[in-house]
Amino acid sequence: MIVGYVFALLAALASGGGSVLESIGVRRAGAFGGSALDLVNLRRQWIYFLGIGVDLIGFACAAAALHRLPLFLVQSVLAFSVGVTATISAFMGTRLAAQGWAALGVGAVGLILLGLSAQPGPAKVLPAAWRWVLPAMALVVGAIAWWFRRFDRPWAAQVLGFATGVGFSMVGVSARTLELPSAGWAMLVEPAVWGMVFNGLAAAVAFALALQKGGATAVNAIMFTTNTALSSVIGLAFLDDRVRDGFTTFTVTGLILAMSGAIVTAHYASHAKEPVRVAQRSS
C-alpha cells in the first residue's frame, strides 16, 4: 500500500516538473500565442523533449500506483501537480500571491483525507466491448483539438485543457484496467495498451496546443480538474473502486478540497508576475 502512495507522489512531482519544462520549450520556440504550425519549431527545443521524458516517467509511476490504488486517489494526487508547477515557477521568479500558497495547503489537506479514505485493491475487469471504447475515445479528443486549434481566444485554451483532461482520464482508466498477459505478443491486442498509447498521444497534442493559448498553471488546473472528476466517477461507478467503511465524508470532502485547491492556485498563478526573461522569449 505504501508503495502505491510513493508512486503516486513521484508521478505528481514528475508531471508538474514536466509541464514547466514543456511550457518553457513552447515559449522559447516562439510558439506561444501562435498557430499550430509554429509547433514545428519545437523540434529544436531539447528542453521541451526533456519535459516529455519527465512526463513519461511520471506516467510510469502513475500506472504503477493505479495497479494498487483507486482512480479517485491517484488522479487527485496527479491534480496536485498544479501545485508542483506553481512552486517550481515561483523558484524561477514568478511571484505567487499568499492566497495561492494557502490554496496549496487546502489541496494538501484534501489529499490527506483521500489517502485516509481510499481502499486499496485491483479494479473490476471491464467487458470486452467496453474495453475497446477506451482507445476509440482518442478520436474524440483529437477532434476537439483539431477544431479548437483555430480559435485565438482565451476560452480556446480552456477547451483544449478540457480535451487534454479527457484524454489523460482515458489513459488512467486504461492503466487501471490493464491486465498484463502472460505472453508478450498478446500486449499488441490488448485494448488497454492502445487506450493508453492513442489517448496519451492525443492528449499530448491537445496540451501543446493549449500551452500556445494559455499559461501552464491555468491549463493544468482545467486539465487535472477534468481528469480527476471524470476518472473518479468512472472508477467508483464502473471499476469497483472502493472507499473505506465510514469514510465517505472524507472522500467527498477530500475531492472538493483537492480540486478547489488546484483551481484557486491556478487562478492566482495565472495572475502572477512572470520574470522578464520569459516574456522576452515569448515575443
Q: pLDDT of 224-270, one tens digit each?
A: 778 888 988 899 888 888 899 999 999 999 988 988 887 787 777 66
* 24 neighbors 92 (Cβ within 8 angstroms): no
pLDDT category at 103 given cuts 50, 70, 90 is confident
- Separation CA 66–CA 178 (nearest Å): 10
What is residue 278's predicted lDDT score, i.e. its pLDDT?
41
pLDDT category at 144 given cuts 50, 70, 90 is very high
Which DSSP category does 39 fall into?
A: G
What is residue 182's predicted lDDT score, i.e. its pLDDT?
64
- Separation CA 118–CA 112 (nearest Å): 10
* 167 neighbors 142 (Cβ within 8 angstroms): no
The overall average pLDDT reported for the chain is: 81
What is residue 14's predicted lDDT score, i.e. its pLDDT?
92
**pLDDT tens for each residue of 88-98:** 877 776 777 78
What is residue 207's predicted lDDT score, i.e. its pLDDT?
86
- Separation CA 235–CA 280 (nearest Å): 44
Percent of the chain with pLDDT over 90: 22
Mean pLDDT in residue range 167-195:
82
Mean pLDDT in residue range 204-219:
80
Task: Flag whether pLDDT at 168 surpasses 70.
Answer: yes
Which comes out higher in pLDDT, residue 85 or 247?
Answer: 247
What is residue 283's predicted lDDT score, i.e. its pLDDT?
38
Which comes out higher in pLDDT, residue 153 or 193?
Answer: 193
**pLDDT tens for each residue of 108-121:** 898 889 988 988 88
**pLDDT tens for each residue of 46-56:** 778 888 899 88
The tally of CA atoms less than 13 A away on the side-chain side of residue 30 is 6
What is residue 276's predicted lDDT score, i.e. its pLDDT?
46
What is residue 42's predicted lDDT score, i.e. its pLDDT?
67
Q: Which residue has the cell 521524458?
A: 53
Task: Give 225's contacts (C-beta < 8 A, 6+ positions apart).
Answer: 79, 165, 259, 262, 263
Q: Which residues is 242 bridged to in the sheet?
A: 119
